[in-house]
């Protein structure tokens, strides 16, 4: 029963979209389990670039069945626009895209409250995307949320919306001195969304479990990254869902015993979007890559990503939190022309050498990275297709990462295209390729 989880092992933007796209050739079922349209995957196929925010990346492969699980929060307008855009580019979604009835729905009041609350958070401001993700998950926890199944019920939905909107309008007007939202407009708009999405609703959890039991390959795609997890991440600079492997199981409605391999995706260096600690961040003027050439802008926000050297403390922690079986390392080619490469192997916290993440983000902000230096390879790797072809310096760099994280590397990406990938060990295969 081959079930493979792909999870980000840093702060998101690790290149999961490409890795998922590569593995999808082996999988029949692709599941998106958590998060919303605050996350994004970029896939490049030839001259075509696809940016997906809610639809599973596997949708670009016609042989797949794709699912949006119960752990997600869905903005119907965004999803429908994404579906229409895919269909306009020749991607057939008929009988291929399925949504769990248990997924929660994002409403206009979620988006509005997201921005209003961020303005008042002070020290707790985290640079929200403003897409209503946090308020929607908060309503889920407060048992105020409206789920897909309820939006599809023409008798129940208007009553639920009336109750919830009354509370939200009180919050908007009395707490934030903002204008109330129209019940009639929202009810009419979301009734139309329900009619459009209704043919795509299915018992996702049951279908996935049956597929795993039948021995069909199932790929679970994580959104964002380990250290944005609301529980284990660099709190409060986190997202509102559980992004680690355990959270993906919950969001997909699948038991952890169904998973046969957990693959962590890491960049050959470290990036982060927005606020929050980044211990190995390079100083201004010392950046070792060109943002435009390296495509280091957020898929969803288009914000410039902050850059740091590879952080082995972070990666090893991610390996433990997720129970990683192997790593997929991306963007090795971005380091092709770097003279000397640094790896953060420990932290200096108030004069003490530590190899763990502190619990307080404030303490992590104060850490000083302890680096090892390795020679760069000053050779273009983008056309190399085997581990043996890579320069010895690149091989040594990869081996050092394996040693520091205590996890083997199974996939190496040396460019954005599908064929710029070195697969050492296929997570869906039993045998390991020699190297």
Query: Residues with catalytic annotation?
Result: 13, 41
Q: Using alpha carbons only, give the angle 361, 300, 281 rounded to the nearest 5 degrees.
A: 35
Residues in a beta bridge with 6: 221, 263
Distance CA(5)–CA(249), nearest Å, equals 9
Distance CA(230)–CA(236), nearest Å, equals 8
Distance CA(207)–CA(212), nearest Å, equals 9
Distance CA(172)–CA(164), nearest Å, equals 12
Helix residue ranges per DSSP H, 54-182: 76-88, 108-120, 133-141, 148-151, 156-170
Q: Helix crossing, 156-170 with 108-120: angle to 10°?
A: 20
Residue whose token pair is 């060109």: 290
| Residue 370 near residue 346, CB atoms below 8 Å | yes
Beta strands at 368-375 and 340-349: parallel, antiparallel or unpaired: antiparallel
Distance CA(74)–CA(101), nearest Å, equals 11
């Amino acid at each position: 029963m081959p079930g493979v989880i792909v999870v980000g092992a840093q702060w998101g933007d690790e290149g999961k979209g490409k890795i998922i796209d590569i593995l999808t050739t082996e999988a029949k079922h692709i599941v998106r389990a958590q998060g919303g349209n605050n996350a994004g995957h970029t896939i490049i196929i030839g001259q075509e670039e696809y940016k997906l925010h809610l639809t599973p990346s596997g949708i670009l492969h016609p042989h797949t069945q794709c699912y949006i699980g119960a752990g997600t929060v869905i903005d119907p307008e965004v999803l429908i626009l994404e579906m229409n855009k895919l269909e306009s580019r020749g991607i057939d979604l008929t009988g291929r895209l399925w949504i769990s009835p248990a997924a929660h729905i994002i409403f206009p009041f979620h988006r509005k409250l997201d921005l209003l609350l961020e303005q008042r958070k002070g020290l707790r401001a985290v640079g929200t995307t403003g897409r209503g993700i946090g308020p929607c998950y908060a309503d889920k926890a407060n048992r105020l949320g409206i789920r897909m199944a309820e939006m599809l019920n023409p008798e129940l939905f208007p009553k639920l919306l009336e109750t919830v909107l009354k509370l939200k309008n009180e919050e908007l007007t009395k707490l934030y001195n903002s204008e109330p939202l129209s019940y009639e407009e929202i009810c009419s708009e979301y009734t139309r969304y329900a009619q459009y999405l209704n043919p795509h609703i299915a018992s996702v959890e049951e279908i996935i479990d049956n597929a795993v039991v039948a021995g069909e390959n199932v790929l679970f795609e994580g959104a964002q990254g380990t250290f944005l997890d609301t529980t284990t991440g660099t709190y409060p600079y986190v997202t509102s869902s559980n992004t680690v492997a355990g959270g993906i199981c919950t969001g997909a409605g699948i038991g952890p015993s169904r998973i046969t391999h957990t693959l962590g995706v890491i960049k050959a260096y470290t990036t982060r979007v927005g606020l929050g600690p980044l211990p190995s961040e390079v100083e201004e003027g010392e950046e070792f890559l060109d943002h435009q050439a390296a495509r280091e802008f957020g898929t969803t926000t288009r914000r410039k990503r902050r850059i740091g050297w590879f952080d082995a403390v972070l990666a090893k922690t991610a390996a433990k939190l997720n129970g990683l079986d192997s790593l997929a390392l991306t963007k090795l080619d971005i380091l092709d022309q770097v003279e000397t490469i640094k790896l953060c192997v420990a932290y200096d916290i108030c004069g003490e050498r530590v190899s763990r993440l502190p619990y307080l983000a404030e303490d992590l902000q104060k850490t000083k990275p302890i680096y090892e230096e390795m020679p760069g390879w000053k050779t273009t790797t983008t056309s190399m297709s085997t581990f043996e072809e890579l320069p010895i310096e690149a091989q040594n760099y990869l081996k050092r990462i394996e040693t520091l994280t205590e996890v083997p590397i199974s996939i190496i990406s040396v460019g954005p295209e599908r064929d710029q990938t070195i697969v050492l060990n296929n997570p869906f295969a039993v045998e390991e390729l020699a190297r």
